């Protein structure tokens, strides 16, 4: 069973704070710019600053230790973070559109990075599972390196930003595609995290 110290540490990391919301908002801004301009470096930047891993890691741990309130807290923090990221992605897109930096009618045209984030496939499942496993190991072993969090953000932030851009562009089909991909990724990150924590249980007693 996970130690009380580990549970408290992860709970603290997944706490809903103003800095968490600011980081998620800025991740949304960068993701929007990246998807609209097909810029891989900027997209990577959005994933680096997004603290998307701890809340979902808390959900996985809470499921294993049977603490539904902690799971709800993690889900609430994650949901609000995604909501903020989407809102700022939409705001950024709107500003770029009204200033004619990027024309509104071209938001969804020939954007390969954006298209990849609204069409669920096996690649997204594999990426989400990898994020869940690496995230669970990092949290349990207290090796919360920023680069590990990037793996989780890879599966989450671009999808929610793509959905926001699509909804702003009045294309709900693409928008819901992005949200569907987000849901798949969140689900597999949590599930793979649960399985990883269960496997690591013997080591946690040491």
Mind giving me the DSSP string for 36-94? HHT-HHHHHHHHHH---HHHHHHHHHHHHHT-HHHHHHHHHHHHHHHHHHHHHHHHHHH
Residues 6+ apart with CB under 8 A from 165: 32, 35, 36, 89, 90, 93, 107, 108, 114
Query: Model's pTM, two decimal places?
Result: 0.86
Per domain, the residue ranges of the chain are 4-199
Span 103-154, pLDDT tens digits: 999 999 888 888 888 877 777 778 778 877 877 777 766 655 555 566 667 7
**Locus of tokens 């080591």:** 203
Average pLDDT of each block of 10 consecutive residues along the chain (206 residues)? 67 87 96 94 88 87 90 94 97 96 91 82 76 75 60 81 95 92 88 86 50
**Locus of tokens 């989407």:** 86
């Amino acid at each position: 069973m996970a130690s009380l110290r580990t549970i408290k540490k992860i709970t603290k990391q997944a706490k809903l704070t103003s800095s968490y919301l600011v980081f998620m908002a800025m991740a949304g801004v960068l993701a929007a710019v990246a998807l609209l301009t097909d810029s891989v470096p900027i997209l990577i930047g959005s994933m680096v600053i997004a603290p998307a891993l701890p809340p979902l890691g808390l959900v996985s741990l809470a499921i294993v230790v049977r603490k539904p309130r902690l799971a709800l807290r993690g889900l609430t923090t994650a949901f609000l973070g995604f909501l903020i990221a989407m809102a700022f992605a939409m705001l950024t897109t709107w500003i770029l559109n009204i200033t004619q930096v990027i024309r509104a009618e071209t938001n969804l045209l020939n954007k390969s990075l954006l298209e990849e984030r609204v069409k669920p496939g096996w690649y997204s499942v594999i990426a989400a599972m990898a994020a869940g496993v690496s995230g669970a190991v990092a949290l349990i072993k207290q090796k919360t390196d920023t680069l590990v969090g990037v793996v989780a953000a890879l599966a989450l932030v671009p999808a929610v930003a793509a959905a926001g851009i699509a909804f702003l562009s009045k294309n709900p089909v693409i928008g819901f595609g992005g949200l569907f991909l987000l849901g798949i990724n969140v689900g597999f990150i949590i599930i793979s995290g649960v399985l990883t924590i269960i496997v690591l249980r013997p080591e946690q007693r040491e």
